[in-house]
Amino acid sequence: MSNYTPMIQQYLKIKAQNQDSFLFFRLGDFYEMFFDDALLASRELEITLTSRDGGGDDRIPMCGVPYHSATNYIRTLVEKGYKVAICEQVEDPKSSKGVVKREVTQLVTPGTVMENTMLNENENNYLASLTACDDHTFSLAYVDLSTGELILTLITSGWDRVISELYNQPIKEIVIAKDLDDQYKTKLQEQIISTLSYCEETEVTESVQHLVESNEDPRLLKSFGRLIHYIETTQQRVLDHLKPVQVVELNDYLGLDMYSKRNLELTETIMKKGKQGSLLWVIDQTVTAMGSRTLKKWIERPLLDRYLLRQRYEIVEGFMDEFLIREDLREQLKTVYDLERLAGRVAYGNVNARDLLQLKRSLAQIPFIKETVQSMESEAIKALAKHVNPLPDLYQLLDESISEDAPLTIKDGGMIKDGFNEDLDQYRDASRNGKQWIAELEQKEKQETGIKSLKIGYNRVFGYYIEVTRANLHLLEEGRYERKQTLTNAERFITPELKETERLILSAEDKSVQLEYDLFLQLRDQVKTFIKPLQMLAEQISHIDCLQSFATVSEKQNYVKPELTNDNDVSIKEGRHPVVEKVMKDQMYVPNDVSMAQDSQMLLITGPNMSGKSTYMRQVALTVILAQVGCFVPAQAARLPIFDQIFTRIGAADDLVAGQSTFMVEMLESKHAITQATDQSLILLDEIGRGTSTYDGMALAQAIIEHIHDQIGAKTLFSTHYHELTTLTDALPQLKNIHVRAEEYEGRVVFLHQIQEGAADESYGIHVAQLAGLPDPLIKRARTILNDLESKPIHTEEKTKTKSNENQLSFFEEAPKDSQSQKKQTSSIESKLMSYDLLEMNPLEAMNVLYNLQKECKKGE
């Protein structure tokens, strides 16, 4: 290192302490990066890579960004999962005798960003901390620094539940211990795709002890302590805005694992990873950023509490009954800014005068919102306004202090109103009077010299000056002015009076700007004292916004209030898929009934591809979720129990990154449902077994149906193309066959999208291929092959009940008539086959029997 210049040595020492971050090293008006940082940043930011002499043998790679536009570059890096260490000059270069002293003043990471331009206003930005307590128990803590929200939760059911919990939240960064098992680290990076950071300290410091209960679970406190230490180390800021921790008991909410959230597309679509096309997209009629974030959290954690749900239904119904007042409320809410994040910026110390103006304008609207809510008929709605505090003292403080034309920066003046501070008014008066004197002097000199183009100007280098063009210099009397600067086309002059006035003006302006800055810092500290009531107000406004959103979407889309039952029956009349219905717009959506009483706990759904089986299954789950977040549901009527969990296996979602095939993913998701579900759960399984051979798949599908029916008793919708499974209704009393109607018309299939009782009688696979546009010769060949298969004789005396069974190939070819030995063998096999009671066997036992019979046949060949 001694070969490098002192400045590069300083850079390397600071970089050594921030090896996992880009080091933005302040040099004058730029943040510079060197060595590997420069090479990588030039690619990621698409900026020019240069080099400089740093005292070593080779030139040092270098790139930089202007400090005034650094935020945009930092945002780009953070969005890509990188960390950025901001290294500032902490002493005046003019007074420094050697290398200017520099220190890292802030570490910007994906989980700790606070700038509005780096945040999605409709989504939380969580930083999480994970601690492994034992093989099955993990504690989680996560915080949104922009809002102050703090959540703790303990997971005692293994790693899969950890992944589901992390997947269900918008977590951008996870803090862990370095000795966390490598397999867990790998899964976090592959499945959650968050930035991993490390912190070993877990002790809860005295500064945040007030945020947790004294008797809190020590396992939770480890993750909480790790989280706080990481924040304090990286941010070096006061954390006054952190709210008391909320301990979330996961069993108090409807369980939605990562598979269900993804398959049902609750907050983002599978393909585009965007909001449009998701359930959130349909029901988000909120008008504030706070409300939008709260709604997303409600969808991610549906309720199990009947009382709270019925309370929400009552409020939604009240909002729907008074359309005009609700529309007034929506207009009033539109003028409310993000109070939650404004409070966070105040506490964090990066609030500016315009932020405080937004806060003032929002508070100005709160009394009208409270009055509007109180004017409604519903007592439940009136109760919402009871604790809404408009904070009149804070509004008055901001109204008296902040100028309506306040600039973005807080060091250039112009923020504080006249009349707020007597000393500031005096400085401003001196400055204004001096400028008025200069304007009057300019007019006077023009008249006395006869030079109409004469002007008095100002710049930061030379101060005030009198400028006369060269063409008019002959009009000046000798000795009238003192020469100050010569330009190409003009001369600049000064007078003793102008010098004195300049001194007075600049002195007043400097003192005014400094005093304004000091007053603003004092004002910010005063606003800090209102952070807790501001956060409470934000929470109340966001709840009002969410509930009016439910009413607005329910009215627009013709949703109805669900009835919560205690008998575990499901009855949905003319139910609809909320997303498909909205996407179809003017097209007619075909509604369908759902009936799952005590004698039909499981629905076995058959029908051709593209007929609507998956849509039907999803709409049941989405209806349940809407009901359990407190919204009305897309149906003519709905009676629903409270489900404790929803499990889904819908669609072919290969997990290629993790090296898992479609079939493996299918089995993993099925396993998760079967091992975790209870008789109060809802299970959706779509075409289980299709990823393997026909007989393997059919055996697995039947075994899963039997297991759920006999061992779990959960409400289940199971779609299949294995028509052989429809005969299971004879052995399983709570299994019911339904199918999606399709008709053949002039050689083409017409999907009616109607659910009817009974099993489907045909698959229409070739018709669907024809609809997909496969070449006609291929379609004709497929029909020929199908006819050949259907015409093959079946070597059994009993014919199966369904047409699809007739299409299956026989296990055994017919024996030649002249082969007596084979006749005897066949007779022996038939005798054995007839001796088995197939209905008493499980699928595995049946497969073993078939395998042994096949071996016996092959011996006689």
pLDDT (tens digit per residue) in 37-48:
999 999 999 999
Strands (E), 513-582: 563-564, 570-575
Same domain, 847 and 744: no
- From the list 336, 323, 314, the residue with the least C-alpha distance to 388 is 336
- Tally the residues of the chain: 861
pLDDT in the model for residue 858: 66
- From the list 122, 82, 344, the residue with the least C-alpha distance to 239 is 344
Q: What six digits make up the tokens of 634?
A: 């897309």
* 265 Ramachandran zone, left/alpha/beta (phi>0; psi -120 to 50): left
At residue 656 the predicted structure's pLDDT band, cuts being 50, 70 and 90, is very low
Percent of the chain beyond pLDDT 90? 63
pLDDT in the model for residue 797: 37
pLDDT in the model for residue 86: 95
Specify if 458 maps to a domain: yes
- In this structure, are residues 295 and 530 in contact, taking their beta carbons and an 8 Å threshold? no
Tell me: is residue 378 an annotated ligand-binding position.
no
Q: What would the mean pLDDT of 531-558 be, rounded to a whole number?
A: 97
Tell me: is residue 681 an annotated ligand-binding position.
no
Specify if 259 maps to a domain: no
Q: Which amino acid is at 531?
A: I
**Does residue 825 carry a pLDDT above 60?**
no
Q: What would the mean pLDDT of 74-94 be, rounded to a whole number?
A: 92
Residue spans of alpha helices (H) in 176-278: 182-187, 218-235, 258-263
The full DSSP string for 282-345 is: HH----SHHHHHHHHHHHHS-B--HHHHHHHHHHHHHHHH-HHHHHHHHHHHTT---HHHHHHH
Compute how many other C-beta atoms are within 10 angstroms of the C-beta atom of residue 843. Answer: 18
Specify if 132 maps to a domain: yes
**Does residue 448 carry a pLDDT above 70?**
yes
Which CATH number fits the domain that encloses residue 201? 3.30.420.110
**Using one digit for the tens of pLDDT, what is the confidence trace for 709-745?**
999 999 999 999 888 899 999 999 999 999 988 776 6
Mapping DSSP to helix (H, G, I), strand (E, B) and coil, where does residue 119 land?
coil
Same domain, 506 and 543: no
Specify if 273 maps to a domain: no
Compute how many other C-beta atoms are within 10 angstroms of the C-beta atom of residue 549. Answer: 25
Same domain, 550 and 571: no
Same domain, 224 and 289: no
Same domain, 158 and 197: yes
Average pLDDT, the chain: 88
pLDDT in the model for residue 779: 75
Specify if 799 maps to a domain: no
Tell me: is residue 258 an annotated ligand-binding position.
no
- In this structure, are residues 620 and 682 in contact, taking their beta carbons and an 8 Å threshold? yes
pLDDT in the model for residue 148: 94
Same domain, 535 and 516: no
Q: Are strands 126-132 and 22-27 parallel, antiparallel or unpaired?
A: unpaired
* β-strand partners of 464: 458
**Does residue 542 carry a pLDDT above 90?**
yes
**Does residue 21 carry a pLDDT above 80?**
yes
Which CATH number fits the domain that encloses residue 551? 1.10.1420.10
Specify if 263 maps to a domain: no
User: What backbone phi and psi angles, to 5 degrees, belong to 122?
Assistant: -95, 10
pLDDT in the model for residue 367: 97
* Distance, CA of 185 to CA of 180 (rounded, Å): 7
Q: What would the mean pLDDT of 231-245 be, rounded to a whole number?
A: 88
Q: Which of 81, 108, 135 is where one domain is finished?
A: 108
* Distance, CA of 126 to CA of 141 (rounded, Å): 10
Range 499-506, long-range pairs (CB < 8 A, 24+ positions): 501/434, 501/437, 501/438, 501/441, 501/464, 502/463, 502/464, 504/430, 504/434, 505/430, 505/431, 505/434, 505/435, 505/438, 505/464, 506/463
- From the list 245, 238, 243, the residue with the least C-alpha distance to 214 is 245
What is the DSSP code (8-state) at residue 797? Answer: S
Q: How far is CA 141 from the centre of its chain?
A: 17
pLDDT in the model for residue 761: 67
Q: Are strands 570-575 and 637-640 parallel, antiparallel or unpaired?
A: antiparallel
Same domain, 728 and 602: yes
Residues whose CB is less than 8 angstroms from the CB of residue 292 and which lie 6 or more positions away in sequence, other chains included: 121, 122, 123, 284, 286
- Sign of the torsion formed by the C-alpha atoms of 594, 599, 604 and 605: negative
- Per the structure, how many domains does the chain have? 6
Specify if 801 maps to a domain: no
Same domain, 127 and 63: no
The lowest-confidence range among 405-409, 492-496, 815-819 is 815-819
- From the list 721, 730, 741, the residue with the least C-alpha distance to 838 is 730
* Distance, CA of 542 to CA of 288 (rounded, Å): 7
**Does residue 653 carry a pLDDT above 50?**
no
Which CATH number fits the domain that encloses residue 642? 3.40.50.300
Q: What six digits make up the tokens of 654?
A: 């290969």
pLDDT in the model for residue 745: 65
Which CATH number fits the domain that encloses residue 37? 3.40.1170.10
pLDDT in the model for residue 763: 65
Tell me: is residue 455 an annotated ligand-binding position.
no
At residue 803 the predicted structure's pLDDT band, cuts being 50, 70 and 90, is very low
- From the list 640, 633, 639, the residue with the least C-alpha distance to 282 is 633
Domain that holds residue 224: 116-252
pLDDT in the model for residue 839: 58
Q: What is the CA radius of gyration of the chain?
A: 37
Tell me: is residue 828 an annotated ligand-binding position.
no
Percent of the chain beyond pLDDT 70? 90
pLDDT in the model for residue 508: 86
**Does residue 272 carry a pLDDT above 90?**
no
- In this structure, are residues 648 and 669 in contact, taking their beta carbons and an 8 Å threshold? yes
Cβ-count burial 157-185 (b if 16+ within 10 Å, e if not): eebbbbbbbbbbbbbbbbbbbeebeeebe
Same domain, 69 and 150: no
Same domain, 549 and 507: no
* Distance, CA of 408 to CA of 399 (rounded, Å): 18
Specify if 800 maps to a domain: no
Same domain, 450 and 368: no
Q: Which of 108, 136, 164 is where one domain is finished?
A: 108
At residue 849 the predicted structure's pLDDT band, cuts being 50, 70 and 90, is confident
Q: What six digits make up the tokens of 394?
A: 């804070």
* Distance, CA of 742 to CA of 754 (rounded, Å): 8
What is the DSSP code (8-state) at residue 276? Answer: T
Q: What would the mean pLDDT of 276-287 be, rounded to a whole number?
A: 96
Q: H or E stretch including 1?
A: none
* Distance, CA of 828 to CA of 806 (rounded, Å): 25
Residues whose CB is less than 8 angstroms from the CB of residue 652 and which lie 6 or more positions away in sequence, other chains included: 662, 666, 691
What is the DSSP code (8-state) at residue 129? Answer: E
pLDDT in the model for residue 790: 65
Q: Are strands 102-108 and 735-745 parallel, antiparallel or unpaired?
A: unpaired
Tell me: is residue 667 an annotated ligand-binding position.
no
pLDDT in the model for residue 133: 94
Q: Which of 85, 108, 131 is where one domain is finished?
A: 108
pLDDT in the model for residue 540: 97
At residue 814 the predicted structure's pLDDT band, cuts being 50, 70 and 90, is very low
Q: What is the reported pTM?
A: 0.83
**Using one digit for the tens of pLDDT, what is the confidence trace for 670-696?**
888 899 999 999 999 998 877 777 788
Same domain, 679 and 646: yes
**Using one digit for the tens of pLDDT, what is the confidence trace for 597-630?**
988 899 999 988 777 889 999 999 999 999 999 9
Tell me: is residue 611 an annotated ligand-binding position.
yes
End-to-end CA distance of the chain: 83
Tell me: is residue 608 an annotated ligand-binding position.
yes
pLDDT in the model for residue 429: 86
